Amino acid sequence: MANAKELRKQIGSIKNTQKITSAMEMVAASKMRKAQERMARGRPYSEQIRSVISHVANASPEYHHEFMVEREVNRIGYIVVTTDKGLCGGLNINLLKATVMDIKKWVDQDIEVDLCLIGHKGVQFFRSYGGNVVAASSHVSETPAISDLIGSIKVMLDAFEEGNVDKIFLANNVFVNTMTQMPTINQLVPLDPVDEASLKHRWDYIYEPDARQLIEGLITRFLESQVYQAVVENVACEQAAKMIAMKSATDNAGDLIDELELIMNNARQAAITQELSEIAGGAAAV
Amino acid sequence: MASTVLCSIVSAEEEIFSGQVEMVVATGTIGELGILPGHTPLLSGVKPGPVRLILEGGEEEIFFASGGYIEVQPTSITILADTALRADDLDEAAALESQKKAEQELIDQKSDVDFARVSSDLQEQAAMLRTIRKFRERKG
């Protein structure tokens, strides 16, 4: 039979942990609301610009930007967006697993892979897993500014322009709802034309004033908005996953406390019964 | 030919408008554009200025866009604005104020004033005021 005093101490410490996890759950819940709003506001722009860009990629423009030209693949780049902090369930692991599987596919074809990491967890992971990290930025705030991100992305884009990297993918978590976050990997450059029957025939835009200037500007905007949206979405995912993880931790702590209390009460009851029977036995003997 | 076309105005911060319209009038880089349904594909820059939408049934709505891009397809028009506002939300007093401030900065010619930035500020404020006036005219 377990010692009642020991059990009481154990219950006390679990209660303290429960307090912490439930506080973290509430913090994550309130942060999630804000992060979700920010994500929802940015979504229309990034979706619209994505569709415009894919129209442009489908057109037969008079000017071909180098980001639009498919070329033979010798080396590819990944931009991986992870969180800075842990305690958010399987969020990072799921994304990294999907990324590693994707990378393996290329490595099997003897294609080398460069990595650009945003978020501390990704940096930690690839430090132990190995991989050619060309740029990393961690401790991006919860309200990221495009200027904070563009530095590390630029390394990748410059490598593409110089011909060192022939394809760039963006890997991040997509927020489906509070319970579900989906790891997704999208091709960033060269631009991916959509399969739309209505756009199949040969056509081109009228450009005002100048195709080159317009397309360059549009592509810069597109890349910025995609990466920005990926980061903002990742923040929302992080808070949602953290909230769920902390909620289940709080629940588990509650279950554990209930169980221990039951054992403790049993032990106390047994001790009382024993004492009583000893007293009764003693009285009978006298 | 269809008499309306799907138009959406999005800015980096939010979606401002999405719906069927009969005509879009925007300020392109090289002049005013009037776009009707079935327009040939067009890609253009947008200068700071008013964007006028004629809704189904002839009703009009005015927005302000501070630059960006417009993409026209026969069945859809997309305006990717840097920032966009509904004309009702524009604050005339604030716009006048910052216009004055920008002008003052230009007059003062302090050595550390970034000429390009101030003059683009000035342009934007002027465009905002233009939008407000247009909005007033139509209302009054």
Can you list the domains of chain A with their CATH numbers? 4-20+244-278 (1.10.287), 24-242 (3.40.1380.10)
Task: Identify which of A174, A170, A188, A66 has the alpha carbon closest to the alpha carbon of residue A115.
Answer: A170
Across the range B99-112, mean pLDDT stands at: 71
Q: Which residue of B44, B80, B82 to mutate against A (max A Cβ within 10 Å)?
A: B80
Across the range B80-101, mean pLDDT stands at: 77
| CB spacing of B14 vs A41 below 8 angstroms | yes
Residue A32 · residue A178 · CB < 8 Å: yes
Task: Identify which of A1, A4, A3, A18 has the alpha carbon closest to the alpha carbon of residue A257.
Answer: A18
Across the range A217-236, mean pLDDT stands at: 88
Count how many pairs of residues, chain A against chain B, have C-beta atoms within 8 Å.
67
Residue B74 · residue A203 · CB < 8 Å: no
Read off the tokens for A131: 């991989």
Question: What is the percent of chain B where pLDDT is above 70?
Answer: 94
Facing A203 at nearest CB: one of B11, B41, B71: B41
| CB spacing of B11 vs A45 below 8 angstroms | yes
Read off the tokens for B34: 């009037």
Predicted local distance difference test score (pLDDT) of residue A251: 96
Which amino acid is it at A285?
A
| CB spacing of B73 vs A55 below 8 angstroms | yes
Predicted local distance difference test score (pLDDT) of residue B116: 72
| CB spacing of B80 vs A203 below 8 angstroms | no
| CB spacing of B69 vs A225 below 8 angstroms | no
Closest residue of chain B to A146, computed from CA coordinates: B12
ipTM score of the complex?
0.73
Across the range A73-83, mean pLDDT stands at: 91
Facing A208 at nearest CB: one of B12, B28, B80: B28
Chain A nearest-CA distance from B78, in A, is: 7
Task: Identify which of A146, A170, A152 has the alpha carbon closest to the alpha carbon of residue A77.
Answer: A170
Q: What is the mean pLDDT of chain B?
A: 82
Instruction: Indicate if the pLDDT at residue A199 is higher than 60.
Output: no
Question: What is the percent of chain A where pLDDT is above 90?
Answer: 46
Predicted local distance difference test score (pLDDT) of residue A195: 62
Query: What gap in Å lies between CA B2 and CA B74, rounded to an integer?
Result: 10
Chain A residues with a Cβ under 8 Å from any Cβ in chain B: 41-42, 44-45, 48-49, 51-52, 55-56, 59, 203-209, 211, 213-215, 217-218, 221, 225
Predicted local distance difference test score (pLDDT) of residue A200: 58
Across the range B5-32, mean pLDDT stands at: 89
| CB spacing of A52 vs B71 below 8 angstroms | yes
| Residue listed under structure tokens 């610009």 | A49
| CB spacing of A45 vs B44 below 8 angstroms | no
Grade residue B106 by pLDDT with cuts at 50, 70 and 90: confident
Lowest mean pLDDT among A49-53, A65-69, A122-126, A214-218: A65-69
Residue B72 · residue B39 · CB < 8 Å: yes
Predicted local distance difference test score (pLDDT) of residue B88: 74
Query: What gap in Å lies between CA A195 and CA A205, rounded to an integer?
Result: 18
Contacts of B40 in chain A (CB under 8 A): 206
Instruction: Indicate if the pLDDT at residue A18 is higher than 60.
Output: yes
- Tell me which DSSP letter residue A233 carries: H
Instruction: Indicate if the pLDDT at residue A81 is higher than 60.
Output: yes
Query: What gap in Å lies between CA B58 and CA A283, rounded to an integer?
Result: 104
| CB spacing of A206 vs B43 below 8 angstroms | yes
Facing B71 at nearest CB: one of A44, A55, A217: A55
Closest residue of chain B to A222, computed from CA coordinates: B80
Lowest mean pLDDT among A70-84, A170-184, A232-246, B91-105: B91-105
